[in-house]
Structure 1
Amino acid sequence: MDRQDTMEYEDGNALAGPLGELFAPDVTVATGRCADCGLTAHVAELRVYAHAPGLVARCPSCDAVILRLVRATGAAWLDLRGAVCMRVPLPPA
C-alpha cells in the first residue's frame, strides 16, 4: 500500500480560494523561470505571439515556449509547462 492510499485528501474545490488569490493580482508583475535556459524574468518581459487561436508567450532569452493561453466561450486553457515556477506578489493580508 503506497502512502497516497493512507493519506486523507480533499477534492479540487480546496484550491478555489488559493488559486483565486493568485489570479486576482496583476500577473504581468509575476516572475517566472524558463524551464529551458533558467532565465528568471517578469511575465511582462515575455514575447507574446497572438497569430494563432490563442496566445503563445516565449522566453526573451532562448525563445522557448513558456505559456499558452487559449480562450473559448465559457472556458480558458492555460499551459505553463515551459515555466519551472511562477512567483506572484500578493498584497498584504
Structure 2
Amino acid sequence: MKLDGNAIAGPLAEVFGRDVTLAVMTCSGCHESAVIARAMVYVTAMGSVARCPTCDRALLVLGPGPGARIRFSMPGVSSLELTPDEPDAA
C-alpha cells in the first residue's frame, strides 16, 4: 500500500522520541530536500519503506526486529535536519 510520510509518524516517534514528520531529509541520490511527510511510503507486513518523492530512492526503512525491537535504517538520506523541541507550555 502506498501512502505519504505521515504513515510512519508513529514508528518514527518511537525511534526519535518525538514527531519528526516535519524534519527535512536530503536524498543522497538526487540531493533534493523535503520534509518526511512528503515521502512516498510503502507499507507491508514486513515493514515500511519511505521513498524520495523526486527520484524514488529508498530513504528510510522501518520494520519489526526480534522481540519488541524496531529495525531502522536511513540508506538514502545524506542529511536529516531536526528543529529543537518546543519547551513545554506551563
Q: CA RMSD in A?
A: 1.7
Q: TM-score, structure 2 length as denominator?
A: 0.72
- Could you tell which deviates more after superposition, 48-57 or 58-67? 48-57
> Which blocks of at least 5 consecutive residues in structure 1 are unaligned?
1-21
Report what 1:61 is aligned to.
54
- Higher-Rg structure is 1
* Structure 1: 4+ residue segments shifted above 3 A: none
Opposite residue 29 of structure 2, the aligned amino acid is: D
Query: What are the residue-to-residue correspondences of 1:17-36 with 2, within 5 Å?
Result: 23-36=16-29
Pairs aligned (count): 72
Matching residue within 70, 81, 90 for 1:76: 70
Report the identity percentage: 32
Q: Distance in 1 between matches of 2:56 and 2:45?
A: 17
> Which blocks of at least 5 consecutive residues in structure 2 are unaligned?
1-14
